[in-house]
Structure 1
Amino acid sequence: MPSSDIHVSAVVVRNSRGEVLCVRKKGTALFQFPGGKLEFAESSLDAVIREVNEELGISLDAALLVPMGTYRAVAANEAGSDVVADLFYFSDSVEPVAAAEIAECEWVNPSVPNVKLAPLLKDEVFPELIANPVRSVAVFTGASSGRNHTNAFLADALGAGLAEQGVRMIYGGGKVGLMGAAADACLANGGCVIGVIPQNLVDGEIAHPGLSHLEIVDTMYQRKQRMSDLVDAYVCLPGGAGTLDELFNAWTAQQLGLHRKPIALFGSSFWAPTVSMLKHMADEGFIRQDDVDTLIVADTVDELLVALNSWAAPCPKWN
């Protein structure tokens, strides 16, 4: 029986390749998550923000940290004790710099770790990440509602379903059209919704006023890049030229191996002509059929999440 519990707060930081940031402290052999022990009267959230800033030079935004829950495992460095860790999830591009107690940092593939891991990572958290890797999704969709009322039902169902499954929604930050409908449904069901919107659209008064968090950027390019940084997967609802731009930008990057994240088309009836055209382009030799096959097509949130979490990344085009 462990003689005592060691309470810590830590963060699971994941990059676009699906790798997780791990650190090894000076004088120890096993890698663990960034974080540490709480100071007096300090919350778990405040503790992990402080620790990561002190030890890695990374400023975490509290609004972007997703609570994962509390995990218990045998302590890696203190014999006879268990570590009890409050974990947060953070999907973003960061550049850690080892400082204070940290001897080295390493990006680790949870499925094929290349370093020695603490029991918390090896036995508890990494198996969960492998089984359910998708915790934040980018939702691409129209700033109008279109003529088919079925599309509004799809937006409502997606937003509500993501909230019910505890999956964070990242989208373009607007209050109008299907994008606003999906955000409203997610918020109404207790979900977390983060918007990323260019300043000119804020000036045009279409920014959603009730989001969990709203980031304002300068350009549409920055919007797409920031959304990509924050998510584990992409889901496309019906939309127009902007939605197609976002879809093909993410899909091309996937083909080139710039990220290893699944892409889904939600609403098979709407997307059928697009899929048909892509198959035609594959037949004509302009697209690999394997890349067309990587696109997920789903009509329900349950079907969608099962497919997203079981998806395997294709071999990059130029590999």
Structure 2
Amino acid sequence: MRIFRLLAGCGLMTSRITGSVLKVPCINVDRVVRLEDWIDQPIASEELHPPRWSSGRVLVQRIISMGSVSMPSIVVSAVIIQDSDGRLLTVRKRGAEAFMLPGGKPEPGEDSRQAVVREVHEELGVALSSDDLRRVGVFTTRAANEAGHQVVATIFTHTPVAVSEPAAEIEQIRWLDWSVDALPDDLAPLLVEAVIPWLRRRIRSVAVFTGAKDGTDPHYRVEATALGRGLAHAGITLVYGGGKVGMMGAVADAALAAGGAVIGVMPQHLVDGEIAHLSLTHLEVVRTMHERKQRMSDLADAFVALPGGGGTLDELFEAWTWQQLGVHSKPVALYDSTFWAPLTALLNHMTIEGFIRPEDRASLVIADTIHQLMADLEGWTPPPPKWRS
């Protein structure tokens, strides 16, 4: 972690580690901040436009106010459990005012998954299945009950379970209708700033199509890394082809390093060829390439094509064609307008010549930043199916 102090009104940022001085936009504050890569994580923050090096590389992408360099972190694991009506299970501990997700702090030797299974059993008498836990991501917010602390929470979802009475340190349980505009004012910041915004999203998983090679321009791999990290920080599950090499490996590694959930789908013959990524959240092995594409489509809420080759084009056009035929109503996007410019020019030509409907061409999302991508995916509306019954 790189820690910097902003100098009020002067637009300079001094590294407390190296002592070097860097130019940033002028900000009328004098406080300590943490410098991180850009993320779309719902935490208390102040958005800044990124200054750049003379080479154009992003130096500062987001600055998150932390108030103090030494703000202590509370590491927890928690789980999203909803009932048949979609209401969210929340709990309030004895002596506390805020309702929060069930879960708690890992004990020595426990991973986050083991911790949430144990905590929920102790607090609610419910035996969660580890196989039914789906990792959402890692979120950082203000602590609800410990002033001056931040919570770093690994969040999972679980299939509906029967919950009756609280136990251990839990005093009250409440099923929360999170869809209403006026939420109760006794909710923990983690719920208000992270979990509920995530629940309200249309896009919770994205299938990324890209190549098993890096390409000739190092920029492509940088883009794959930024996309994987951005999806993870937004709590969006990455679904991809399951490879460990090239652009596929880069996007998966970045998402995993940022605490995200990554699902790979790969045919057995490619697994046998030893190119499968074995450190994923989950690797599904299927029989054929056709099954791979179908399974990725089933798992994803949207599709994004990074630079790639023939396989990427195959996946992209199948997903887009299925959208046009009404097989699914999910957005399809191209990431990196410069790389895809020759293709979009061809698609424009095909539209002019009457082979692609204008509404289908307009439905294809084209983005160059994670912010733009997520906004366009969330706001997307499907075109009418090509063939109507």
TM > 0.5 fold call = yes
Residues 132-170 of structure 1 show CA distances to partners (whole Å, capped at 9, x for unaligned) of 211110010001111122211111111111122121111
Judging by fraction of residues, say which structure has more helix: 1
Q: One-letter code of the match for 2:206?
A: V
Q: How does 1:143-292 map to 2 (within 5 A)?
A: 143-292=212-361
Structure number with the bigger relative contact order (C-alpha 8 A, sep ≥ 6) is 1
Query: Structure 1 residue 284: deviation in Å?
Result: 1.2
Deviation at 1:307, TM superposition (A): 0.9
Report the alpha carbon displacement of residue 41 of structure 1 after superposing the two structures with TM. 5.8
- Rate the CA distance shift 1:48–1:132 in 2: closer, same or farther, 3 A: farther
Matched, 1:137 2:194: no
The residue number in structure 1 matching 2:98 is: none
TM-score (norm 1): 0.67
Question: Could you say if the C-alpha distance between residues 40 and 279 of structure 1 is closer, same or farther in structure 2, counting changes exceeding 3 Å?
Answer: closer
Q: Alpha carbons of 1:208 and 1:9: their partners in 2 closer, same or farther (altered >3 Å)?
A: closer
Q: CA deviation at 1:36?
A: 12
The answer to whether the 8 Å contact 2:138/2:260 transfers is no
SS of residue matched to 1:209: coil
Q: Deviations over 1:238-264 (max 9, x none)?
A: 011110110011101111111111111
TM-score, with normalisation over the residues of structure 2?
0.55
Task: Report if aligned partners of 2:206, 2:236 keep a CA contact under 8 Å in 1.
Answer: yes
In structure 1, runs of 5+ residues without a counterpart are 1-7, 12-21, 24-30, 51-59, 70-85, 91-99, 101-117
CA distances 1:242-289 after superposition (whole Å, capped 9, x unpaired)? 101100111011111111111110011111111111111111111101
**Aligned equivalent of 1:66, options 110, 113, 136:** 136
Is the Cα–Cα contact under 8 Å of residues 68 and 87 in structure 1 kept in the other structure? no
SS in 2 for 1:254: helix
Distance 1:186 1:151 in 2: 16
Aligned pairs, number = 246
Q: Alignment RMSD, CA only?
A: 3.6
1:193-213 Cα shifts (integer Å, max 9, x gaps): 111111100100000121111
CA distance in 2, matches of 1:43, 1:262: 42
Deviation of the 1:184 alpha carbon? 0.9
Counterpart residue identity of residue 121, structure 2: E
**Within 5 A, what are the aligned runs for 1:74-153?**
88=157, 120=177, 122-123=179-180, 132-153=201-222
One-letter code aligned to 1:228: S
Identity %: 49
Say if 1:42 and 1:238 are closer, same or farther in 2 by CA, change over 3 A: same
Identify the match of residue 42 of structure 1 among 121, 130, 139: 121
List, as ranges, runs of 4+ consecutive aligned residues in structure 1 with deviation greater than 6 Å.
34-40, 43-46
1:71-109: CA deviation from partner (whole Å, max 9, x where unpaired): xxxxxxxxxxxxxxx98378xxxxxxxxx9xxxxxxxxx
Q: Which letter maps to 2:218?
A: H
Supply the AA of the counterpart residue of 1:10. I
For 1:48 and 1:34, locate their aligned partners in 2 and report how far apart those are by CA, in whole Å.
Answer: 18
Q: Name the aligned partner's letter for residue 81 of structure 2.
A: A
The answer to whether residue 364 in structure 2 is matched with residue 295 in structure 1 is: yes
Distance in 2 separating the partners of 1:45 and 1:160: 34
Larger Rg: 2
Matches of 2:350 and 2:240 in 1, distance apart?
29
